[in-house]
Structure 1
Amino acid sequence: MTLSRVPGATRDGTGPDAFERAVRALREVRLRPDVALSEVPAPARIAPHAVALAGDVVVDGEELATGRFILLHDPSAPPEWEGTFRVVTYARADLEPEFGADPMLGQVGWSWLEDGLREHGARATGVGGTVTRVLSEGYGALAERPPSVDVELRASWTPLPDEGPAGGRAGEAPPFDVAAHLLAWGVLLCTVAGLPPLPEGVTALPRAQR
């Protein structure tokens, strides 16, 4: 899906050339039609420049997963970033209750992110995050409510420059392959939702029936 507008979160509407080029590159990215992508307010105070996208996987009017993709830029290159850009993401979906007790759920969930980055050649360093499961059971007046399990993956990483020559005309290409990182997150979001096709070797978990 093409974004109609993805401005940088700067008060005067301007930003470093590198960030502006990255934002323009985001406008050109197309995710699969099941993902409804839109701009949302970017977090303030984390970095001088930021853009945030919300993605919802919707099939036949039913929302299967939701998430965020945030691109931060700080020209001062914070030491913990190991670069001037940082990607921050999350993805959440409901699963069948029996998967809440699976001790491999976290490892499997994290592999979805790694597979997405690898599938699209998104070079990154400092990749880290968490996989959280929440089991909800009803008691008392809510005893008839069926149990549910939410899985949420939060991750961040620093994009690395491409090894090959940058595309586009000189001075117009972003400093890294922006599309690869957004597409990698799109793979994660759709895998969490249980949608095929999947990267080779990845098995989808059955989603919760509503």
Structure 2
Amino acid sequence: MLQFFGLSGRQGMMLKAIAWFSLFCLTLALSLACSRLAVLPPAPIQDSGAGGLDRSGGKLAIGTNLNSVNDWSTEVPFLDAFKSARVWIPQCVNGETGCRGEWDTGEVDKLDLDEQGWVKSLPAPADAPEYTRVRTILFGGSGKFPEGRYVVLYDGEGTIEYVYDATKDEAASKPGRDVIDTHFANDGEGIH
């Protein structure tokens, strides 16, 4: 005899059928809800000509089970790629006054940053800190990132260099807005 919640016979079978049907409906509802949220990630920004850049085709996607947010992760969880960038690395170049040519001068505590963590200024080569430039890494070591055109927005004056997997499009760039083209080089360096 069938025993379901202490019921037997026809009542137990009916209750069991209702329970299975409810579970099926819940599973179906969750599957449909998730399928509407899980869409393709936004396409890289495409240049639409004189009118600026066009973000068409991008829809929000839902993600789960992401690794920690860092530059070497294979996931790209944000539209703002800089949210995954490495912390600033203070550097100097051989030949500059007081420079030992180290990859990281270890002076991150001496960086002049604003409240959002952006570099406000750099010291002159003759000033006390050894560093004269800062570097960060985007998409480094992951070996994968969305190729295409990216826009770097900034305030102020200075020189921004893009090396390894990115090149600046001088014709499309203007003060305060650099346009860079990225190409995956399969060397794990990313964008510096």
**TM-score in terms of structure 2 length:** 0.23
Higher helix content, 1 or 2: 1
**TM-score in terms of structure 1 length:** 0.22
Bigger radius of gyration among the two = 2
